[in-house]
Amino acid sequence: MQQSRLSGQLDLDELLTVRKEPRRYELVILQHPEIARATSPSEKDRRVVDPPCILQLRIYDSKGNLDDNAMRSPFWVVHTMLEGSHQMPSQLLQGQLSSSASYVTSGWAHDAGCYFIFGDLAITTPGLYHLKFLLTTVRPLPTRPDELPVLTQTHANMIRAYPQREFPGMSASTDLVKSLAEQTLGLSVRHSDHRNRFYRSQNY
């Protein structure tokens, strides 16, 4: 089933009607990243953070009800940055640092809703980090037409970036990834689990 093509079906101005303000925005991390193999920008064999981070946007109207119309707007964008013990961790994160909204219908392992996928992130230096996610919009809101505000933010669980020789391997894709991949969200499905036994025994 293809991702919804909203611009030709809905009046975009009505999706965010001011009648439902003030709205509350919530980013829910459905799948947290866990590990990475530190990869320099010059390496051809770049290893992405595993598993890919998947977020869902929930928007509540002034009455506290889920606002499905607002979640169908294609103009939501989530940006990510790296936080850690290094002085300038943001320079250590490579790849696609922004994700545009994808509204999808329900699948066998996910609900209908607005999703953001971060499947192309790499860390260049070993260490412990957190990913921070910021929700904004590329189209001004009706109540704030002169600014593109940060509407909410959230942090993922800790990620450990390993040196190449210590990296425990990539995991098989989760059911969530497989389900969303069927709706053409640009997710790669990995069928084999390459995590070594020692890592699995310490974390499961």
Q: What is the pLDDT of residues 121-132, one digit of tens each?
A: 999 999 999 999
Look at residue 200 and tell me whether its pLDDT is greater than 80. Answer: no
Q: What is the pLDDT of residues 88-112, one digit of tens each?
A: 776 899 999 999 999 999 999 999 9
pLDDT at 87: 67
Residue 4 placed within a domain: no
Look at residue 21 and tell me whether its pLDDT is greater than 80. Answer: yes
Domain count, the chain: 1
Sort strands 98-100 and 159-162 into parallel, antiparallel or unpaired.
unpaired
C-beta atoms surrounding 63 within 10 Å: 7
Look at residue 6 and tell me whether its pLDDT is greater than 70. Answer: no
Confidence of residue 3 (pLDDT cuts 50, 70, 90): very low
Query: Cα dist. 100→87, 103, 180, 185, 189 in Å?
Result: 29, 10, 15, 11, 20
* Closest-CA residue to 116 (of 96, 95, 141): 96
Residue 49 placed within a domain: yes
Q: What is the pLDDT of residues 176-186, one digit of tens each?
A: 999 999 986 77
What distance in Å separates the CA atoms of residue 183 and residue 179, rounded to the nearest whole number?
A: 8
pLDDT at 100: 95
CATH at residue 77: 2.60.40.3960
Q: Which domain holds residue 192?
A: 12-203
